[in-house]
Structure formats: structure tokens, C-alpha cells
Structure 1
Amino acid sequence: MEIAIQYITEVWEILLEAAPYVLFGFFVAGLLKGFLPEDFVARHLGSDKKGAVLKASMFGVPLPLCSCGVIPAAAGLRQQGASKGATTSFMISTPETGVDSIAITYALLDPIMTIVRPVAAFISALTAGTLVDMFPEKPKPGKTEFTPLNFAPTTLKKEEECTSGCCSSSAGKRFKDKFMTGMKFAFGELVADIGKWLFIGILIAAVVSTFLPVTFFQDYVGDGLLSMILMVVIGVPMYVCATASTPIAAALALKGLSPGGALVFLLVGPATNAATITVVAQTLGKRVAFIYVSSIAVTSVILGLAVNWLYAKLGLSVFEWINNVETHQHGIIAYASAIALIILVGKQFVGRGGQKHGASCGCH
């Protein structure tokens, strides 16, 4: 009974710490959805031209799409003429981070990791995309390009634009419509897409916090290269979105995992899983799939070693930061946010279980 109470307390503490930042991340994601033109990404990446890999790596960083949602989005870009390299870069940087996961990184890890995480996602995506374009796969005779499933272009034709609900003679009305569209996406479809996995991540993090010895990594793994390779082995087949991976990484850091090891998990876990690798192999080719996985693994370990060096050089400890965060008292905002988040996620399973949500799996 004592252990059960300790576990439930740990779940509640993580939720209190994360909830305000998760809601803020959802809000910013809604603003991106409402005010960023639907065809913005496609216009810049929908052609095989110089700089596309760089742009794909940059555009993917703030977008709130998980590894499920990025597949049809990337497929649509590929169909519009984006190179395999640009498509690969987009498929890596997008699920590895996003405005929602950046917010929760600040809540559960520390300011350094909040900056390092999106930068590392950009570097890993740029590396993989560049390698894919450098080593193109020779097309097989008779093989045609894939057609993405369940992808419907969202760009309106010019003659249709003024018949949509977004058009109005009033600029204020347009602003209101865009804002409401974004908020419905953020606190409806995005919550449905990510909320379940966030709670699963919190439950796993609480298991780690409750049952794993504090000195586990020092005693059995160490804080160097071996721990990072272990994170690669765990992260590659595992399905975990960027937001859900954060509480798990924070819990592992409290048990002695180095900042570099935590970064490796934050990069590899969201970007790779068995389903994504299979889709990449089928749609972009086996060579691209090999480069996709190997470049993420190698780049994340190199970046992890660099992050360990950075923390040592600055004399900082992610363990001490997280430990200090856990000891402070939570205010009314934390409690209200936690309750609001529980209600938002709960609504997706009560009375709406049969409803489909697909906007977050489209080309945002």
C-alpha cells in the first residue's frame, strides 16, 4: 500500500509540474495551426531544389506532429516533388521536437536542454537528409513512385477561397475564425493525438522514479558511451512521442542518466519506431531507411557526448536542477492546469471514442 501511494504521488507530482507548460505548448501549436498558411511548408519543400533539406530541417522543429502524424504529411511533400533528402529531414526533425515538447522540456528538465533539444533535432535531420541526397538509390525498372494513403491536399483553389468559412469582409472576423480554428485543433485533435501518450509517458516515468534505485546508472551502466548506446537500443523500436518522452527522460536523469544519455533518448525515441521504419523503407527505399535509422543513432550519440562535455564545462548538473524543481511548492496554476489537462484528455475517451481525428496527421 505504501508503494502504491508513493507511485500515485509521483504521478501527480509529474503532472503538476508538466501541465501548465503542456497547455501553453498546445496553445502555441494552435496559433501555428490557425495563422500559418496551410500550404506554407509544401510551397517551400514541394520541389527538388537546393536548400530544401535545410528548410525541411528548420520547418519540422516547431510543428506539433508525432511520428504517426508526420508520415502522411511527409508523403504529401514527396508527392509534390520534394527530394528524398528533404522528406527524410522533415520526418526526423518534426517528431523529435515541437512547441509542445519544448515547453515541457523546460518544465521537467532544464533551460540548457530546452535549447539543446531543438538544435540537436535540426542537426540530426540535416545530417540524415544530406546523406540521403548524397547517396541516391537507383530506381528499379518498372517501379513507380508511391501514392500516400489518406492524404488530401488542403490548399484551396483561388476561385474557392472566398466561399470558405475563413473568408469575411471583416479582418477581425478572419482573425477570430483563424484563432478558433487553431484552438479547436490544439485542444481537440492535438490533445487526442498526444494526450494519451503523454499520460503513458508520465505513468512510465513514475514507475522509473518509484522503483529504480537512485544510483542505478552509476552502478550498472555508467554515464558515458554505454548508457547512450543503451538509450539507442531502447529508443529505436519504441513508440513514444516527443512530449511523452520528456517525463521518462527526466525520471531517468534522476536515476543517474547523463544529460547526453537523456538527449539520445529524446531524439531516438520519437523519431524511430518499428512502424515508421517500415513505412520509410516502403515509400523511400531500403537505402533511405538504413540511412534514416543509422544517422539518427550515430548523430544522437555524438550530440550526446557533446552535451555531456557542455554540462561538464559549465559545471552544471541536470540531476540537481530536476531535484530542485521537484522540491518547490506548486501553486494554484499548476493544480488548475493539471485538472484541465485531465479533463481535456478524458473527453477524448468519453463520448468521443468512435470519432476520428486526422488534422494532426495531415500536412500542417
Structure 2
Amino acid sequence: MKSCCHPDLPEKEPEASATETPAIRRLPGIKSTETSASVPSCCAPVNEAKPSCCEGGDESTPSCCAPSGRKIDWLLWGSLALVVAGIAGHFIGGGPAWWHVFAHGSWEFMSKAWWGLLAGIVAVGVIGRLPQDLITGLLGRGGSFGGILRAVLAGTLLDLCNHGILMVGAQLYRKGASLGQTLAFLVASPWNSLSLTLILASLIGWKWMLIFIALSMVIGVLTGWLADRLVKRGALPANPNHRDLPENFRFRPAFREAFAQVKPTAGNWKAITINGLKESRMILRWIFFGVVLAAAIRAFVPPEIFSQYFGPSLLGLALTLIATTIIEVCSEGSSPVAADLLTRAAAPGNAFTFLMAGAATDYTEVMVLRETTKSWKAALALPLLTVPQVLLIAWVLNQ
């Protein structure tokens, strides 16, 4: 018989009741009352007052056994509401001192990061329209040293803030980039944007700026290479979205197809916007939560203590690591603090740690990696592989 819950069950003849007469059994057009009553319902006993085939729900529910409503993303909307309230409080003024600091922190963060977030949403929408084979061809073979180098160069040259980069990195993973390429892209890029390069150069000079960029690229390459080695050994999960390039793949036809998908037409821009917002929603949830948490911590932890207690010692380095782990600061916001550590505290290693470990231990980044890869191992690989390298280099720089 056809069942609403088991549609593939074969039709089955009802077994005769012990009290059923042979005459009734032989008549094909007549059914016994007892047999009809004993036939089980598709999911639950039949109840006239409950029209649903399973649990008595609304017949209009698409699923007959598992009606489900769309849940409200409380983390996203709650964090966004607090950010909006903080921005409004920045302009309105008033309230206790801690609220004034929280409101100013929310405004300062969003005023610096909004363009990166918008650019990241657009980039996610554009990448989502590109053929997967083209992304694979541009990034190179996953697990190879050349593929890691391409990911590091892409992360270094892309001019976005760390949260905009996070959106792009997650989308690249969905398009088939290996775990090592994704981590290398994220590690090399959080503060290597053009705007931040100029900020750093003006604050600490071109010499230290170039040294920091070169060292961050080295850490990105080593982190990506180690991650892909661990994937090959089975210690970390492989990317289920990965696929090898077909033998007949050519860049020119792939670029033509990509251009057709992203050329400036009303339909393409609508699709890019919708896809960008849809794919970025999970990331925006953690970004807004990070803004709330960072602004709240800033309200109770004055940043001036960095330059006073974070000198070029092992204790100062440890305190810097703890501080940069707890306090989430956008890439542009971390530059003045890092410059203060280098100039006033005379601790270039601490400044490098504040820039690098802040991105590697960023809870927003870790949670987005967890959501994207569906694995805590893959998410925690970012700080576990990166932080030891950062601390070793920082200790050398402080000598």
C-alpha cells in the first residue's frame, strides 16, 4: 500500500482474521470490517479529529510527519540589535560611562569595518557565481606547495579587512580549496591589505612593516603546508567540496563562462547580492557578536595598559597573547596598538604577536571555520598550528 511516510512499501494483502468466514475471504470486492479496522495508519492510529497523516497537525504542512518552522537566529539579530543600539548611543550620548565606551567602541569598529564587510559580501556573491573548476585552476592543486603559495599571495594582495577576508576564505573552501589553502589564505591576509600597509608604514616605518609582512607570509605557507599534511594522514578532515580538474579544462572557456555570470546586468547583480547575503549570513552572525564582545571588553579594559605592562619579556609576550586572544580588534584597529607596543614598549615581537595571534585566535574566525568545515578539529587547527610559530618569531624579534 502507498504510505505517506513509507511510499516505497509494496502493496500487501491483509491477513485473514480468525473469525472471518471463508465466503468473505473468497469475495474480492468485499472487505471484512475487522480487517479494515486493524490496518495500521501510516504513522499513528487514525483519529477523525486529527486530519494529518501522522501527528494530527495541519494538512497544509509540507512534511506529513515532521512539520518544522523557520527558527529565529537569536545570535544574529540580538548581536545586530546591540550593535545598532551602540551606534545610536554614540550619536545620542548620555548614559553611564561604561555605556559611553561601549557605544563609542561599536561605532569605531563598524565605521572602520563596514566597507570591508560590504566588499566581502560582494566578493562572496561573485565567487559563488564562478565555475568551481576555474577556482580550482586559479588556486592550484589542493595539497600541493604551489597551491599553498597561490593562496598566500591571494590573501596578501587582497585589500580587505580581516572580517571581509573571512567571508572570502569561507567561500573559497565551499568552492573546493583545501583546508591548508584556506588556512594559508586567512593567516597571510588579516592585516596585509593596502590600506593597513600604509597605516603600518606611517606608524612603525617601512622597515618593520616589510619585515612583518614577510614573516606573516612565511607563517601562512608553513601553516597551510602542515594542515594539508595532517589532512593526508587523516588527522584533519578533507574538504568534501574538493574535486580534481577535468583533463580537458582550459582557462579561456572558463573565463568566458565566468564573465557571463558576473558581467554587469540587472539579473547578475541581483543574483550576486542575494547569494552574497545568503552565504555571508552565518559569518555576519559571529562578526556582530564579536563587535558586541569587543566593545564590552573595551568598556572595562583600558587599552593604555598595553604599553605599560607588555614589555619585551616572556611575561610581556604571554600577556600580549592573552590580551589579543580575549580582545577582538579589527585589522585597522589593531595597528595603533601594535605600533604602541613597538615604539613605546620597545617590543617588536609583542607587536607582531598582537597582529598575528589576534587573527589566529580570533573566536569569530574559529567559529566561522567551525560552521564552514563542520569540524572542530579543522577550526582549532588554525590557532594550534599558527600560535607556536608566532611566539617563536616574536621571541626572536624581542632579542
Change (3 A) 1:81 1:257: same
Count how many residue pairs are aligned between Structure 1 and Structure 2: 241
CA change 1:144–1:55 in 2 (3 A) is closer
1:134-173 matches, within 5 Å, as 134-136=229-231, 138=234, 145=240, 158=257, 161=260, 164-165=263-264
- Normalised by the length of structure 2, the TM-score is 0.49
Alignment partner of 2:187 out of 64, 70, 92 = 92
Counterparts of 1:72 and 1:226, CA distance in 2? 34
Q: Which residue of 1 aligns with 2:364?
A: 275
Per-residue deviation, 1:213: 9.4
* TM-aligned CA distance change 1:158 to 1:243, over 3 Å: same
**Structure 1 position 113 matched with structure 2 position 208:** yes
Shift of residue 68, structure 1, vs aligned partner: 2.4
CA contact (8 A) 1:208 1:251 kept: no
Correspondence 1:48 to 2:170 = no
Matches within 5 A, 1:1-364: 43-45=137-139, 47-48=141-142, 50=144, 51-136=146-231, 138=234, 145=240, 158=257, 161=260, 164-165=263-264, 208=303, 212=305, 216-217=308-309, 222-282=311-371, 283=373, 285-309=375-399
Q: 2:262 and 2:387 mapped to 1: Cα distance?
A: 48
CA distance in 1, matches of 2:331, 2:360: 8
Cα 1:222/1:114, change in 2 over 3 Å:
closer
Q: Distance in 2 between matches of 1:140 and 1:258?
A: 35
How far, CA to CA, are the matches of 1:280 and 1:237 in structure 2? Answer: 18
Contact 1:95 1:271 in 2 (8 A): no
SS of alignment partner, residue 189 of structure 2: helix
> What is the deviation of 1:222?
4.2
- 1:39-97 superposed Cα distances (whole Å, 9 cap, x missing partner): 79764226425211121112211212333222332222223322111111112112142
Deviation, structure 1 residue 292: 1.0
- Give the number of the structure whose alpha-carbon radius of gyration is greater: 2
Shift of 1:162: 10
Give the match's secondary structure for 1:230.
helix
CA-based RMSD of the aligned residues comes to 4.5
Which amino acid is the alignment partner of residue 376 of structure 2?
K
SS of alignment partner, residue 298 of structure 1: helix
Q: CA deviation at 1:267?
A: 0.9
Instruction: Please tell me the residue identity of whatever aligns with 2:394.
Output: G
User: Could you say which structure has the greater relative contact order, defined with CA pairs below 8 angstroms and 6 or more residues apart?
Assistant: 1
TM (normalized to structure 1)?
0.53
- The 2-side partners of 1:222 and 1:160 are apart by 52
Q: Distance in 2 between matches of 1:213 and 1:129?
A: 31
Instruction: Return closer, same or farther for 1:254/1:52 CA change in 2, 3 Å cut-off.
Output: same
Q: Specify which structure has the higher proportion of helix.
A: 1
Work out whether residues 208 and 252 of structure 1, in 8 Å CA contact, stay in contact via their aligned partners in 2. Answer: no
Contact 2:162–2:330, Cα closer than 8 Å, also in 1: yes
Counterpart contact for 2:204–2:343, Cα < 8 Å: no
* Deviation at residue 139 of structure 1 after TM alignment: 8.9
Letter in 1 for 2:204: L
Check conservation: 2:170, 2:369, Cα contact below 8 A.
no
Which consecutive unaligned segments of at least 5 residues does structure 2 have?
Answer: 1-107, 243-253, 266-286
Once the two structures are aligned, what percentage of the paired residues are identical?
21
